[in-house]
Chains A and B, each alone.
Chain A
Amino acid sequence: MKLDLIQPFISAVDTVLAETMQTPVTIGGLSMEDDGYRKKGVAAMIAIKGAIEGRVILDMEPRAASRVASYLAGEQVTLDDQGLRETVSELANMVIGNAVTLLNDRGSTYKVYPPELISEEQMQKEGADTEATVLAFETQHGNVYMNIAMRYFRRRQRERSTVAIS
């Protein structure tokens, strides 16, 4: 995956987490995964369509989500499972929306869709035949992971399949 496609996502995570967690964020690791992704906390997925189709999963440790929820609520909050899911969905919406804003302002055209919460099983299925870049962001309030997978166009997928069969 091209680095110039990933860079806006890194910038968006940095901007949004620094604002909503009020703490510095560092990149703790970058890896490629092509055989499914095992989630680390609460995860939400957002589909992106446009010049390249794809999806991004934001996966947060619960204590990181609690920190964000407290900041956005303006008071200390203790989250139940539902609250955790709502927080991660909204944070995914913010991060990916900000990233797509950067991509669109560069001249590409992408559209984002409302976030979907995904289960472990769905996540395995999502990652089964997709090469994804996984970024780990470390904060003093817990880690946040971003799994970015941009797929080939269907036409190109068909072309690749044809070559593989013959």
Chain B
Amino acid sequence: MKQFEPLTRKIDNQPVRYLVVDDSVFARKSLAKMIEAFGGTVAGEAGDGLTAITEYGRTNPDIVLMDITMPQMEGIEAVERIVRDHPEARIVMVSSVGYQDNILAALQKGARHFVQKPVKPDALYEIIRYVLSDEGVAAPV
């Protein structure tokens, strides 16, 4: 995979830490490869929205990559609950279901951005850079 200019946290210049939430093991592995190429680390993983809430509290990641269609609790509800308890959470939705109502619902609940699968690494990189730099938390080195 193409290597990208590493994204680091502005606060301490450390690699950006991600929580990857997707019910597909394969999708989590694929996103982890991209995170590695972006110079980041996977702080935690979850296969459903309910576990994502717990993992967010445990790992306190810089970025969450969140699927929508998942068992037990879907991504949009998980976003709402994470943002309610952690308003600073930076969540990027990563889903194959990208119709307008879904995107709006996710953004209204507090997600920062939306990427439709199949994910193009260049596009995801730019979105993460935007979401992080917008908050002044991280910037490309």
Partners in one complex: yes
| Chain A residues proximal to chain B, CB less than 8 Å | 16, 19-20, 69, 72-75, 83, 86-87, 89-90, 93-98, 100-101, 104-105, 112-115
With contacts A86-B26, A101-B116 known, is A93 near B96, CB below 8 A? Answer: yes
Across the interface, B97 reaches (CB within 8 A) one of A19, A69, A86, A101, namely: A101
Among B55-93, those with CB < 8 Å from A are: 69-71
Contact residues in B for A98 (Cβ distance below 8 Å): 96, 98, 116-117
Chain B residues packing against A (C-beta within 8 Å): 1-2, 23-27, 29-30, 33-34, 37, 69-71, 95-102, 116-118, 120-121
Other-chain contact of B26, A83, A96, A105, A112 (Cβ < 8 Å): A83
A73 pairs with B99, CB closer than 8 A: no
Which 6 residue pairs across A and B have the least CB separation, nearest first? A97-B96, A74-B1, A104-B99, A86-B26, A97-B97, A72-B30
Given the known interface contacts A112-B69, A113-B69, the answer about A100 and B97 at a Cβ–Cβ threshold of 8 Å is: yes
Q: Determine if A114 and B1 form an interchain contact, defined as CB atoms under 8 angstroms apart.
A: no
Q: Looking at the complex, which one of B2, B98, B120 makes contact with A97 (CB distance below 8 Å)?
A: B98
- Chain A residues within 8 Å of B101, by CB: 104
> Number of residue pairs across A and B with beta carbons under 8 Å?
73
Contacting residues, chain A, for B24 (C-beta < 8 A): 86, 89-90, 93, 115
Residue of B nearest to A86 (CB): B26
Bound form: Cα–Cα A90–B94 in Å: 13
Chain A residues closer than 8 Å to B71, beta-carbon distance: 114
A69 partner residues in chain B, CB cutoff 8 A: 26
Of the candidates B27, B96, B120, which one forms a contact with A96 in the assembled complex, judged by CB atoms under 8 Å apart? Answer: B96
User: Least Cβ distance of B125 to chain A in Å?
Assistant: 13
Q: Given A72-B118, A73-B33, A93-B117, decide whether A114 and B23 contact each other with a Cβ distance below 8 A.
A: yes
Known contacts A104-B101, A105-B100; A74/B33 CB under 8 A: yes
- B1:A94 contact, CB within 8 angstroms: no
Cβ contacts under 8 Å, B2 to chain A: 74
Residues from chain A with Cβ under 8 Å of B37 in the complex = 74
Shortest Cβ distance from residue A19 to the other chain B in the assembled complex, whole angstroms: 5
C-alpha gap A5/B100 in the complex (Å): 19
Looking at A96, A101, A104, the one whose CB has the most chain B CB atoms below 10 A away is: A101
Of listed A95, A97, A104, A115, residue having the most chain B CB within 10 A: A97
